Amino acid sequence: MKIQVVFYSMYGHIHQMAEAVAAGAKEVAGAEVSLSQVAELVPDAALERTGAKKVRDGFANVPIATAAQLAEADAIIFGTPTRFGNMAAQMRNFLDQTGGLWAKGGLIGKVGSVFTSTGTQHGGQETTITSFHSTLLHHGMIIVGVPYSCAELSNMNEITGGSPYGAGTLAGADGSRQPSANELAIARFQGRHVAEITAKLVGK
């Protein structure tokens, strides 16, 4: 079975989460896991000014995703930072290119799942993921989240991202906070859980 992790990351937080999601999916026997990123829309000059270009150069080797590749997957796990409680424009632009797949029913019956990052504790982790689900449902995908069998969701000893809707990390208002061990554990759980559900659906 083929699991695709498709993400957009500006400052590296979602890339770190994507690596953890992919690592979790790889723990499931028979899972072929690939990692790809959606194309950047922000000019290099603007990325240079904000310091994002240097960070993005660190994972420039990750291939650019295409809409066509999604049809090859049994499950797709999407990662996007939050922009005012919604997905980033880069991810929205990518999804808007999937009209041809929609017309053919190319994603019907495939598993879909989402993870995210926010600048603050209440910055829209849940709204970003649940609003993302609308697109997946229009494609006829089967949505999988993170059940409470993931013990890290119930961690009350620290401020942490993550919810039943999907893994999440808190980047801090200035982006300086990196994904915590708890958040990365939820991301790994999500990848593994999606792969386990997918294996049952595809019979592998």
E strand or H helix at 78: strand 75-83
Nearest to 37 by CA among 90, 101, 96: 90
**pLDDT(173) > 90:** no
Q: Tell me, yes or no, if the pTM score tops 0.85.
A: yes
**Radius of gyration for the alpha carbons in the chain, expressed in angstroms and rounded:** 16
For 113-132, what is each residue's pLDDT tens digit? 999 999 999 999 999 999 99
Per-domain residue ranges of the chain: 2-202
Region 161-179: what's the mean pLDDT?
96
Mean pLDDT of 41-63: 92
Domain spanning 2-202: CATH 3.40.50.360: yes
The number of C-alpha atoms within 13 Å of 70 and in the hemisphere containing its C-beta is 30
Phi, psi angle pair for 49, to nearest 5°: -60, -35
- pLDDT at residue 204 tops 70: no
Best CA proximity match to 15, nearest among 51, 50, 60: 60
Phi, psi of 64 (to 5 degrees): -80, 130
